[in-house]
Every structure is written in C-alpha cells, then in structure tokens.
Amino acid sequence: MERQKKVVDASIAVKWFTNEGDTNKALKIRDAHINGEIVIIVPDLIFLEALNALKYKKLKKESLNNVNENLWDLQLHVEKMNTYILDKAISISLEYDLTLYDSMYAAIAQLHGCQLITADEKLKKFPSAISL
C-alpha cells in the first residue's frame, strides 16, 4: 500500500526548528514522515526559504548550518523545478493571487493529488491547502 503524500511549505519546515505556535503539530507531521507513515513532498526551494526565514529569526551561522544538514537528513521527496511545474505555478499564482514561491507548493500538491499543509494565511485559500 502506497504511503499517503503531503506537501508542506516553508512555514511548516520553519516550525520544525523553532518554538512557536503549532510547533507540536508540525513536528507530528515531520515525525510521521520519519516513521514512514507519510511521504512529505517539497519543492527544492524549501531549503532556501526555510533557512532564509530562520536567518531572520536571528539564528547564528552554526545553527543555520545544522538546520541545513537536518533538512537534508529528513530525506524529503524533493521535486526539482521544471517547466511543467512552473507553468502550473504561474497559473495558480494568477488565479489565487499568490507569490510564485507559494504557488510552487500548490502546484506540487495539485500534481500529486494531495493536501498542502501550511501556516501561511494567503496560501490557505488554495483549495487543497489545510492549516495545522
């Protein structure tokens, strides 16, 4: 039986490394992936977005390097950017008035026919998006 797929955006990944609202819920999603209960699918840009957000939360270089390693160690299913996904993201961006960055997560969720989990208020308006 195929494991259930979920797309998470950077707002969720950041919660894996901070203590903020809904961190426990975000960690349960991460742990379900680690335990093989679900597969977390992400665009390759999540690494950059999450690290950038944590930089602005004043994490030091050593901590950012550790987060970088820990994110890669999670063995997330990473979708590399390509013309097809970007075309979908452009359409979603225009239809839902989202940034292209956020639309990448929505496009990947749509392509995989799965839910997008986010803490981003604007992104929550995408039909397959759910909040924590």
Mean of pLDDT over the chain: 95
Domains of the chain, start order: 4-131 (3.40.50.1010)
Confidence band for 17, pLDDT divided at 50, 70 and 90: very high
Confidence band for 3, pLDDT divided at 50, 70 and 90: confident
- Checking DSSP bridges between strand 77-79 and strand 4-8, what pairing results, if any? unpaired
Q: Contact 90/103 with Cβ under 8 angstroms?
A: yes
**Could you tell me the pTM of the whole model?**
0.94
Summarize pLDDT for 77-106 with one digit per residue, the tens: 999 999 999 999 999 999 999 999 999 999
